[in-house]
Amino acid sequence: MTSCAIHQPNFFPRPSTLAKLVRADVWVVLDDVQFNARDYQHRARLATLADPAAQRWLTVPVHRPHGRDTRINELLLADPDLSRRRVGQLVRQYYGRSRHWPAASACVDEVLVALELSPRLTDVAEVSTRALLARLGWAGRVVRSSTLTARNDRSARLADLTKAVGADTYLCGPGGSRYLDEGAFTELGLTVSYPEPPRWTRAPGIRAISALWAFAMLGPAVVREELYTTVPA
């Protein structure tokens, strides 16, 4: 069986997001939906090593060519040079003295290169996630939803995207169970699974922060073990 996770591109995503993606054979990057400035597409929360509740935003400023109607894949970097300096300096400030800094630093370096080479946020956010996944040993496939055809209804769209990439199981996050219509999947011969993220990813303070904290604090090997050995619900 082939599983599929569908998730918007997040900038240095949270541990709970990685917990879903590492279980999937295919990650469909939901890049053709409306940008939400209050979400995690262009920003991440950093936390001090000693106290994950002590947090601050790391934001990549973006330009919306079409105002509020701008889709994620249309977002442009407002100031790439400023973003490169801010990302490099702030992440090092928070995690540079950690035991596992080399692993976190390698992920950051990939993003700094992306900020230099691409004018689009989608590319930068996707690179940040790919960098983390690669160090967790994930060998799945990445496909952008903008390259696929799907219906507009939310559940039907997710089912169509799952079918389009050749998957037969859709991995749904806990929050998705509140709105998902499984009938849209059943009619296409697909199943829906609700993997439960590890408890530590939902702990107060850790719930909202970037997985960079876990990489720096625990190291990729421990994070990988925690995420891969959790049995889906």
* pLDDT tens digits along 168-224: 999 998 788 888 999 999 999 999 999 888 888 888 889 999 999 999 999 999 999
Quick one: which of 195, 224, 203, 141 has its CA closest to 20?
A: 195
pLDDT tens string 120-133 = 999 999 999 999 99
pLDDT tens string 132-157 = 999 999 999 999 999 999 999 999 99
* Rounded CA separation 218/88 (Å): 21
What pLDDT sits at residue 84? Answer: 98
Question: Taking 70 as the threshold, does the pLDDT of residue 233 lie above it?
Answer: no
Name the percent of the chain lying above pLDDT 70.
Answer: 98
* Rounded CA separation 72/101 (Å): 30
Listed in sequence order, the DSSP H helices in 69-211 are 80-95, 101-117, 121-135, 154-164, 183-186
Among the ranges given (49-53, 105-109, 142-146), the one the predictor scored with the smallest mean pLDDT: 49-53
User: Would you state the torsion angle of the CA atoms of residues 98, 200, 230, 4, taken in this order, to the nearest 10 degrees?
Assistant: -90
Question: Taking 90 as the threshold, does the pLDDT of residue 74 lie above it?
Answer: yes
Tokens of 199: 């408890």
In the numeric block, the tokens 């569908």 are attached to 6
DSSP annotation of 155: H
Question: Taking 70 as the threshold, does the pLDDT of residue 28 lie above it?
Answer: yes
Name the pLDDT band for 229 (thresholds 50, 70, 90).
low
Structural domain boundaries, residue 134: 3-229
Domain count of the chain?
Answer: 1
pTM here is 0.95
What pLDDT sits at residue 71? Answer: 98
Question: Taking 70 as the threshold, does the pLDDT of residue 231 lie above it?
Answer: no
> What is the arithmetic mean of pLDDT over 97-117?
97
Name the pLDDT band for 160 (thresholds 50, 70, 90).
very high
In the predicted model, what is the mean pLDDT of the chain? 95
Name the percent of the chain lying above pLDDT 90.
Answer: 88
Which residues have C-beta within 8 Å of that of residue 182, sequence separation ≥ 6?
155, 192
Could you tell me which residues are beta bridge partners of residue 28? 6, 143
For the chain, how far is it from start to end, CA to CA, in angstroms?
A: 17
